[in-house]
């Protein structure tokens, strides 16, 4: 192997990106192992919020595995006793501290769609119900990353649509779908 290639590979192996990939791989392996004794492979149900406000998308940066450090839509797992709409409103508040009353959010609900590709998540079969909230104008509400989001940010749509490689799993494509670009 040429020495520059060897040096590049060694530098990658010793760097933070490789260490993050190893942590991610171990997390996914352990996560799937927990379900290996179930009589049937589990199907997880999640919700995601696509919030568009004054030409900005509300994004979170994932604070934990899987996808630590990647941008995502606010969302998460549906609790056993929860309806889907209640779950998306709860996750939106937990991860972004979005300071908008639930009734106002419900009034801004433009559409919803199911994303169910069998391989959309590295954790296993995960069906997400995505809710699209739209506020055409006004001041951007105060937000702050919380729960399993280490950062929440209003990202101008033009910038968000240039960040595909920085998104977790298929969240970029969900955003594109609601913006009419997919």
Round to whole Å and give the CA distance between 161 and 165. Answer: 10
Round to whole Å and give the CA distance between 30 and 68. Answer: 16
Q: Mean pLDDT throughout 129-146? A: 95
Are 71 and 166 in contact by the 8 Å Cβ rule? The answer is yes
pLDDT at 174 > cutoff 90? yes
Q: What is the pLDDT of residue 20?
A: 82
Q: Mean pLDDT throughout 134-160? A: 94
Residue with more model confidence, 164 or 34: 164
Per residue in 38-97, pLDDT (tens digit) is 888 889 999 999 999 999 999 999 998 889 999 999 999 999 999 999 999 999 999 999
Provide the percentage of residues in the chain whose pLDDT is more than 90.
Answer: 69
C-alpha count within 13 angstroms, C-beta hemisphere, residue 109: 17
pLDDT at 30 > cutoff 90? no
Q: What is the pLDDT of residue 105?
A: 96
pLDDT at 22 > cutoff 80? no
Closest CA to 88 of 70, 109, 69, 67: 109
pLDDT at 100 > cutoff 70? yes
Q: What is the pLDDT of residue 69?
A: 94
**What confidence tier does 182 reach under pLDDT thresholds 50, 70, 90?**
low
Q: What is the pLDDT of residue 14?
A: 85
Round to whole Å and give the CA distance between 2 and 82. Answer: 57
Q: Mean pLDDT throughout 103-109? A: 96
Q: What mean pLDDT is reported for the chain? A: 92
């Amino acid at each position: 192997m040429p020495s520059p290639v060897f040096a590049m590979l060694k530098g990658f192996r010793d760097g933070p990106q490789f260490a993050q990939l190893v942590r991610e791989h171990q997390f996914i392996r352990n996560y799937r192992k927990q379900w290996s004794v179930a009589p049937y492979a589990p199907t997880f149900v999640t919700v995601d919020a696509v919030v568009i406000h004054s030409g900005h998308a509300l994004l979170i940066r994932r604070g934990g595995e899987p996808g630590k450090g990647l941008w995502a839509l606010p969302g998460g797992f549906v609790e056993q006793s929860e309806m889907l709409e209640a779950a998306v409103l709860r996750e939106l508040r937990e991860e972004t501290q979005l300071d908008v009353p639930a009734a106002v959010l419900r009034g801004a609900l433009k559409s919803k769609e199911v994303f169910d590709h069998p391989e959309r998540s590295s954790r296993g079969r995960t069906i997400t119900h995505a809710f699209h909230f739209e506020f055409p104008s006004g001041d951007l509400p105060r937000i702050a990353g919380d729960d399993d989001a280490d950062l929440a940010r209003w990202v101008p749509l033009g910038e968000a649509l240039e960040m595909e490689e920085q998104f977790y799993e298929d969240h970029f494509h969900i955003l594109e779908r609601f913006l009419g670009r997919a």
